A = this chain, B = another copy of it.
Amino acid sequence: MLYIVGLGLSDETDITVKGLQAVKGSERIYLEAYTSILTVGKEKLEAYYGKEVVIADREMVETESDAILANADKINVSFLVVGDPYGATTHTDLVIRAREMNIPVQVIHNASIMNAVGACGLQLYNFGQTISIVFFTDTWRPDSFYDRIIENHNIGLHTLCLLDIKVKEQSIENMARGRKIYEPPRYMTVNQAVEQLLEIEENRKQGICTPESLAIGCARIGTSTEQIVAGSLSELLEVDFGGPLHSLVLVGSKMHHMEADFIRAYAVNVESFDALVKKQYKF
């Protein structure tokens, strides 16, 4: 059996009891470590499970899936995913490959930022499509996701923006020279995401993500140091959200007044929040 086990959002105790049973009954355990992170590392998980955990980086999951799946028709193998197993495309690939090899698969679900973002006080059914914002480089400043934000905006919906994570990335020079030397991990902050959004708006002038647009910066959702701050994009630029992971919610024009009441408690500045809500949302 291949168990694909969601680990949730915070630490080793966010695994479900069912997930922990699967892990303890597995002969091999892999930890997918490139689409998200917990607040604890592999060593903590190993101590908690009493088992060895192998870090599976993107290269391994995408090119060596058969090694991960080896003998999983006879023994139990657990593949651990931060959040919920179906958060990222890669894991569906692994399920498809297992199916081809006639390996039974059991998915053990857990919380994902896709539902836990409800903690910010906006109702989940008022969210449109989720988008990802990637790090700009000097030569690559993609903005096609802005069209998705506009689509949500046009029908009044909130947008959850997932922010880029770079782990085990090579510099262009190291890549060119075939040197397996990796850069330190980078996690996009709310501030960086806001900067990039304002730059895109500055270029495109579509009136979507302006300095006055209401948004909610979220850091470490589901952990004991969770931080949620509501304000205009220009206000959020100045907020220190601390360590990763961050995400950003763009508030849609159909915000309900109950939602506004809830997120008011997170306002960086209640006075400017009230003024902004009164002006833009008419309550």
A residues at B contact (CB < 8 Å): 6, 8-18, 20-21, 84-87, 89, 92, 95-96, 99, 107, 109-112, 114-116, 118-119, 121, 123-132, 151, 155, 157, 222, 258, 261-262, 265
Measured CB to CB, the nearest residue on chain B to A85 is: B118
From residue A12, how far is it (CB to closest CB) to chain B in Å? Answer: 8
Contact yes or no, A89 B16, CB < 8 A: no
Q: Choose one: B20, B86, B125, B155; the contact of A130 (CB below 8 Å).
A: B125
Please name 4 further chain A to chain B contacts, defined as beta carbons within 8 Å, in addition to the given A86-B115, A86-B119, sorted by A numbering: A14-B16, A89-B123, A109-B111, A114-B115
Whether the pair A111, B128 counts as a contact (CB closer than 8 A) is no
Q: Is the CB of B99 within 8 A of A9?
A: no
- Kindly name the residue among A6, A87, A109, A121 whose own CB sees the greatest number of chain B CB atoms within 10 A: A109
**The residue from B96, B116, B262 contacting A84, defined by CB atoms under 8 A apart:** B116
* A-B contact list, 18 entries, CB within 8 Å: A12-B17, A14-B17, A14-B18, A16-B16, A84-B116, A86-B119, A87-B118, A87-B124, A92-B118, A92-B262, A96-B262, A99-B265, A107-B119, A109-B222, A111-B112, A115-B115, A126-B129, A128-B157
